[in-house]
Amino acid sequence: MRIAHLILTALALLTTPVMSRAQYIVTDTIIPERIVVKSSQFGITLLNNLDTYLSNYNHEGLGLNYGYEVFRDARTGDYRWKYQTLFNATVGYATQGGNIQLTGLISQNWGGYHPFRVAKGLTLLAGAQIQLEGGALYNPSNGNNPAAAKLRTALAASGMAIYHFPFRRSEWIARYQVDIPLIGMMFAPEFGQSYYEIFGLGHANNIVAFTHPGNNPSWRHTLSLDIPIKTKRHSTTLRISYIADLYQSRINDINCHIYRHTFSIGFARTIFKVKTNNKLNAYSPY
């Protein structure tokens, strides 16, 4: 029996697609305990930046974007919860007339959600998210203040709608997510205050501001579509996404907005652990 059990476990692992939303075979002894969906995407970003610390004009251009997501399903007590980790990096080049502006931003978000199945194939999720973002806008042509550092953290309200629908003998997954920062803090120098004054002379009073929707009305929308692609040897899940990341702030007489519209494509893969003699049912994060 021991040998038979090992053989069954090995066969289950070998026949599971490496890149897909897998189909799980559940028996009394072979049950996925924890399922994790990971995705990586590359995209093109349309930039629209304004920061009156640097310039009174909008700068528009293009950027490159990389996104990485981990989405997993876990049990906490008698309830199921969804956990999400998001990493996003953008580098860009924008212009206004003959002036150049370089953009570099990195963000890391952690979210927790409770699901509500409202109809066949449709699940709504409500939760909260911790956001952390840093980077800079850089205008090479500026004299005294060529760069504006960006560093902020916030607690955001977050929600999702996930819809499964059949299409051409397979199941596609559409997902919409919205994240709205509620309270937080950010690095916010005064208008005209140089970084030499702050870090060289130590004039660092009041450079951290409390943020809320009144002075920092921002939000992010994400729409994605997961498309299974089957070949003779394995299945792959293709993910196509559109992200509208709309950041705004009005603090210390400085107006700023960083609008990023990103169109990206990548792949998602499903990973799970097998645990024996466990009566939990198999389930997917989606």
How many CB atoms within 10 Å of residue 3? 7
Please count the residues of the chain: 286
Is 113 inside a domain boundary? yes
- pLDDT band at 57, cuts 50/70/90? very high
Is 22 inside a domain boundary? no
Strands (E) across 139-169 are located at: 147-167
Check residue 205 and give its pLDDT.
77
Domain that residue 147 falls in: 37-271
Is 85 inside a domain boundary? yes
Is 28 inside a domain boundary? no
Q: For the chain, give the percent of residues with pLDDT over 70.
A: 79
Check residue 200 and give its pLDDT.
73
- pLDDT band at 199, cuts 50/70/90? confident
- Percent composition of the chain: helix, strand, coil (DSSP 3-state, to 5): 5, 65, 25
Is 15 inside a domain boundary? no
CA distance 23 to 263: 29
Is 278 inside a domain boundary? no
Is 127 inside a domain boundary? yes
Q: Which of 21-30, 48-57, 72-81, 146-155 has the lowest mean pLDDT?
A: 21-30
- pLDDT band at 198, cuts 50/70/90? confident
Quick check: 50 pLDDT over 50?
yes
CATH code: domain of residue 237: 2.40.128
Residue 232 DSSP code:
S
When divided into structural domains, the chain yields a total of 1
Question: What's the rounded mean pLDDT across residues 30-42?
Answer: 74
Question: What's the rounded mean pLDDT across residues 258-281?
Answer: 74
Question: What's the rounded mean pLDDT across residues 213-220?
Answer: 96
CA distance 236 to 240: 13
- pLDDT band at 98, cuts 50/70/90? confident
Check residue 196 and give its pLDDT.
73
Is 285 inside a domain boundary? no
Asked if 92 and 102 touch (Cβ cutoff 8 Å), the reply is yes
